[in-house]
Amino acid sequence: MFKAIVVDKVDGQHRATYEHWREEQLPDKPVLVEVAYSSLNFKDGLAVTGKGKILRSYPMIPGIDLAGTVIDSDTSEFKVGDAVVLTGAGLGEDYCGGYAQKARVDTEALIKLPTAFRPQDAMAVGTAGFTAMLAVAALQKAGITPDQGPIVVSGAAGGVGSIAIAILARMGYSVTAVTGREELHQYLRELGASDIISREQMPQSARPLESQKWAGAVDNVGGQILAKIIAETKGNGAIASCGLAASHELHTTVMPFILRAIKLLGINSTLVTKEHRLNMWQQLSELFETTFWEKISKTIRFSQIPEYAEKITKGEIRGRVIVDINAE
């Protein structure tokens, strides 16, 4: 028997409870992992609280990230004893995830834990950090270089935002952070933001084209802020659209795309080849040292997941949350 959080629908009502499961209750997948750490992402918050439709079936163990050790394997790619990490790719959405002491997982996105990371550091990265790396890599591929001007990052103090700021700053970009939390300005500066603007300064754009400020952007919030960023992006600029923490809506016109040749780059942390996935982890390991992951994360106990799930849906989390699965 092992411990898990199980989300179910009972008489149409959402319910998340701590249960003891048997291995046989897990899905039929090729690799069995003893989970050491998981993490908390925006999606996990929605799944645990029931505020968003994330889970494809019930009952389901949520948790879109995990790091742990292989304890059984049907494939030659992974051996018993391998330290592994898995972020996204259906885990904790399509099939049972990381909020349990054991998980049976697919191998498409499973990788061996890169040597530069302890399991808890890999969970400080998690889906959020991996997405931030994908977003910056997409901007680079679109030809955005540090000499072209500042990059604006929205949802700055959250998981994706914090790591995106730090990656960009370490790569030599000048970064402007958009945040709703004045008390976190110092934190954002320490990550590498050279300028900070408040959410209120990014209201709905009156015009589709405004004065040009940004060479590029990493947007985590959608809605009015993304519309404003698009209107303010310089000619040939690019925006990596990662999230919808404010809204899934986007009201704009085609003018910025036609008259300024702006590119809106969709980022999806699941639709990634294993080669690109390994590449992103390699870049993260070259950019950061262990102390960075400690600085931007907080470790919570397994029993605190519901409390922190609520917080992340309210935009109250700073940086990343690591879940110590074996700490009561």
Q: Which residues contribute to the site for ligand NAP (CB under 6 A)?
A: 41-43, 127-128, 131, 155-161, 179-181, 199, 220-221, 242-246, 267-269, 312, 315, 317
Q: C-beta of 220: minimal distance to ligand NAP in Å? A: 4
Going 247 to 251 to 256 to 261, the CA torsion angle's sign is positive
Nearer to ligand NAP, 119 or 158 (CB): 158
Smaller CB separation from ligand NAP, 25 or 179: 179
Alpha-carbon distance of 262 to 260, in angstroms, equals 5
C-beta of 75 vs 204, nearer to ligand NAP: 204
| Residue reference for tokens 């349990």 | 100
Q: Which is nearer to ligand NAP, 105 or 246 (CB)?
A: 246
Other Cβ atoms within 10 Å of 326 Cβ, number: 12
Continuous segment of H or E residues that includes residue 214: strand 214-219
Least CB distance from residue 241 to ligand NAP, whole Å? 8
The pair of three-digit structure tokens given for residue 34, joined into one six-digit string? 């003893």
Taking the complex as a whole, how short is the minimal distance between the CB of residue 195 and ligand NAP, in angstroms? 14
- Least distance in angstroms from the C-beta of 222 to ligand NAP: 7
Residue 186 Cβ vs ligand NAP, minimum distance, rounded to whole Å: 13
CB of 17 vs ligand NAP, minimal distance in Å:
24
Of 83 and 321, CB closest to ligand NAP: 321
Is the Cβ of residue 192 or residue 243 nearer to ligand NAP in the bound state? Answer: 243
**Residue nearer to ligand NAP on the CB measure, 32 or 164:** 164
* φ and ψ at residue 84, rounded to 5 degrees: -130, 165
Listed residue (240, 234, 220) closest to 42, CA to CA = 220
As measured in angstroms, the least distance from the Cβ of 22 to ligand NAP is: 31
**Closest residue to ligand NAP in the complex (CB):** 158
Whichever of 78 and 97 has its CB closer to ligand NAP, that residue is 97
Alpha-carbon distance 185 to 196, whole Å?
7
Query: Running DSSP on this structure, what letter comes out for residue 111?
Result: E
Q: How far is the CB of 190 from ligand NAP (least distance, A)?
A: 14
Give me the helices (H) in the chain, please: 42-49, 119-141, 159-170, 185-191, 223-232, 255-259, 274-287, 290-295, 305-313
What DSSP line would sit under 263-328, residue for residue? EEEE--SSS--HHHHHHHHHHHHHH--HHHHHHTEEEEEGGGHHHHHHHHHTT---SEEEEETT--
Give backbone dihedrals phi and psi of 308, rounded to 5 degrees, phi first: -75, -25
